[in-house]
Amino acid sequence: MQQPLDTRTKLLTKSPFPLMIELAIPAVLGMVVVGLYNMMDSIFVGQMVGDVQMGAVSMSYPFTLINAGSAAMIGVGSASVLSRAIGKKDQDTVKKIMGNLVAMVLLMSVVYMVIGMVFTRQLLSLTGASDNILTYAEKYLRIVFAGSLFVNFFQSANMVIRGEGQLKKAMTIIASGAILNIILDPIFITILEPHGMGIEAAAYATILSQFIQAAVTLWYFKKKSPNVKIGRIRIDGTLLPQVLAVGVSALLMQVLTLVQQTVIYRVASVYGGDTSQLLLGAALRFWNFSFVPLWGISQGFQPAAGTNYGAKDYDRVKKLTGVFITAATVLSLVFYSNPRN
């Protein structure tokens, strides 16, 4: 029981700037690797299968945000409730967190998997892609939707690990799965591409990696978590409004990104055809990746702010907010300054 006390004390007492560095660096590194996760699928498919298939993977990416959005809603909301409960020393709430999360993940994953697999082509047709790209994208995305449960669980539960303040462990789990996916991509493509299943191979590699991440995450909460265990699996009526109050904004961010990129792809189709869509897909992958460090800083901020808020140290919350905002602003200037100036 010593570790939870050490983590809580650190979040409540450590100087804001060193605490920001300690929390943000593993979060940023973890999110960078996650960004590579999706981008490497496109790169391997483009290099080993073909340009059209690479475009199909890129065009499928916005629709994976359906799962990412629900995982963010559940995970961000649960992590916020958890960090505040740790600050208050509210063990009753802590005990309910993961049971509520698992129940929500199961419900939403089944819905997304069924709708996604049945209406895959109809969803992809919103981008205005040609039949050739649609055919490949449909094959890839249907397999990805089949793994909805795995990706939703490990992503949302990983946010709870961050909510505990265990950002290094969260980074290790999520980075290992992403690295595994990068290793499996060329192996699966080499084996299956001669059988006409090159793009499906990348999807299978992704699903297997996500399954292993989900299994490792489940083991962590069963055996290693210093604060949180998986108890009774049910949607808790007292926790649900708290989770949604914070998590819905994270869901909306993902949904609006999906809408934005779908519209952009459709405009590219109307005015430039397949070639423009292929180029746009590659550009958007790198554009999405460029935002990853900022998402990592926000992930580091959450347990610090939540724990201090729960402990009612509001002045410290304000100081931490200022430090993290300053760091994010400086990082933005470094990444987004015009290299020609």
pTM of the model: 0.80
Kindly state the DSSP code that residue 220 receives in the 8-state scheme.
I
| pLDDT score recorded for residue 82 | 85
- Structure token pair of residue 237: 């009526």
Looking at residue 7, its pLDDT comes to: 67
Q: Say yes or no to pLDDT of 341 above 50.
A: no
pLDDT tens readout for residues 19-67: 788 777 776 766 666 666 667 777 888 788 888 888 788 778 778 877 8
Q: pLDDT class for 247, splitting at 50, 70, 90?
A: confident
CA-CA-CA-CA dihedral for 246, 249, 253, 259, to nearest 10 = 140
A 10 A CB-CB count for 4 gives: 18
The residue written with tokens 């649609």 in the block is 134
Residue 286 pLDDT grade (very low, low, confident, very high; cuts 50, 70, 90): low
- Which residues, other chains included, contact 334 with Cβ-Cβ below 8 Å and sequence gap of 6+? none
Question: Could you tell me which residue, 59 or 288, shows the higher pLDDT?
Answer: 59
Nearest CA to 40 out of 193, 198, 207, 185 is that of 185
pLDDT of residue 32: 67
Q: What was the pLDDT predicted at 1?
A: 36
Which among 7, 91, 3 has a CA at the least distance from the CA of 304? 7
Residues of the chain with pLDDT > 90, as a percent, come to 11
Distance CA 213, CA 178 (A): 9
Q: Assign 209 to helix, strand or coil.
A: helix
Q: Per the structure block, which two tokens stand in for 109? A: 């994953």
In tens, the pLDDT along 142-173 reads: 998 998 899 889 888 888 887 777 777 888 88
Q: How many residues are given for the chain?
A: 341
* pLDDT tens-digit map of 82-124: 888 888 888 888 888 899 999 999 999 999 899 888 988 888 8
Angle, helices 198-219/148-163, rounded to nearest 10 degrees: 40
